[in-house]
Structure 1
């Protein structure tokens, strides 16, 4: 399983409705955030890459996506230094693939 709900369960105190709500928002809003990140990467806009990566990071963290979070942290660092666009492009590809996989699994697991 590429996600882990331990942090979310701890935060919610086991409130299933809250967990479903957070998961639903992630499934609904993250594709748009990914699209914005992709546009920033394609434009080579380091500031926008940083901001979009930073926006996605808390949700990825909340869903226990540690590998994805690590990639996002690396992306933020590269973007902050205004350097490494080829590496940022590679990171984006990995991040997008992982997030899309989790969205697919969440839709199945939560019948969304």
Structure 2
């Protein structure tokens, strides 16, 4: 698997049932967060952009999706800082692609 469950295993003590629950929640809830982030970007709602990136970031970190965590950090920085919507849009697209790959990988892990 491309992603690391080290942090999740550390948190759960290797409890597979707990890990499965966290992964299922991630797979079911994060697509809505991504869609909300996309809408906030389209509407240039920088406070909402920050909030949704901030919500996605710890889940990506916990599930070892490091590129997405880095992308969300960058989006947060732009949303609170220079408000560079072009950089936010580009970074969002990269993060979305990586998240879709992570969803597929974690769906396979659950099988």
TM-score by length of structure 1 reads 0.95
| CA distance in structure 2 between the partners assigned to 1:35 and 1:67 by the alignment | 18
After superposition, the CA RMSD in angstroms is 0.9
Ranges of 4+ aligned residues in structure 1 off by more than 6 Å: none
C-alpha distance in 2 between matches for 1:61 and 1:47: 22
Partner of 1:13: 13
Gaps of 5+ in 1: none
Using the size of structure 2 for normalisation, the TM-score is 0.96
Which residue pairs with 2:22 in the alignment?
Answer: 22
> Counterparts in 2 of 1:43-62, with a 5 A limit?
43-62=43-62
Structure with the larger RCO, 1 or 2 (CA within 8 Å, 6+ apart)? 1
Q: When the two structures are aligned, how many residues end up with a matched partner?
A: 111
Aligned positions of 1:99-110 closer than 5 A: 99-110=99-110
Separation in structure 1 between the aligned mates of residue 88 and residue 21 of structure 2, nearest angstrom: 31
What 5-or-longer segments of structure 2 have no aligned partner?
none
Does the Cα contact within 8 Å between 1:78 and 1:88 map onto a contact in 2? Answer: yes
